[in-house]
Amino acid sequence: MAKDTCPRCDGDGTIKCPTCKGSGHVGIPIISEVAEAVLGTSDECTRCDGSGEVRCPNCGGKGEV
């Protein structure tokens, strides 16, 4: 079986985080910006650690299937 580029992540091995939709933050965006400015922190997405990307579940992060 030849390996193929994973169609889900396009070979990147990562996909947009479904929890924060790739923003790296959860919650209401406007509130997040205010919270970040005021508190010096933000509601960082715990699933992707704020990166906005998570390992592709289809290929396990290898980028090929």
Nearer Cβ to Zn ion (42/45)? 45
Task: Report angle CA 6, 8, 14 to the nearest 5 degrees.
Answer: 85
Report, in Å, the least distance between residue 59 CB and Zn ion: 3
Query: Residue 16 interacts with Zn ion (CB under 5 A)?
Result: no
Q: In this structure, what DSSP letter does residue 45 have?
A: -
**Burial bucket for residue 51 (CB in 10 Å: 0-12, 13-18, 19+):** middle
The residue range among 1-9, 27-35, 36-44 that interacts with Zn ion, by the rule CB under 5 A, is 1-9
**Residues of the shown chain interacting with Zn ion in the complex, contacts defined by CB under 5 A:** 6, 8-9, 17, 19-20, 45, 47-48, 56, 58-59
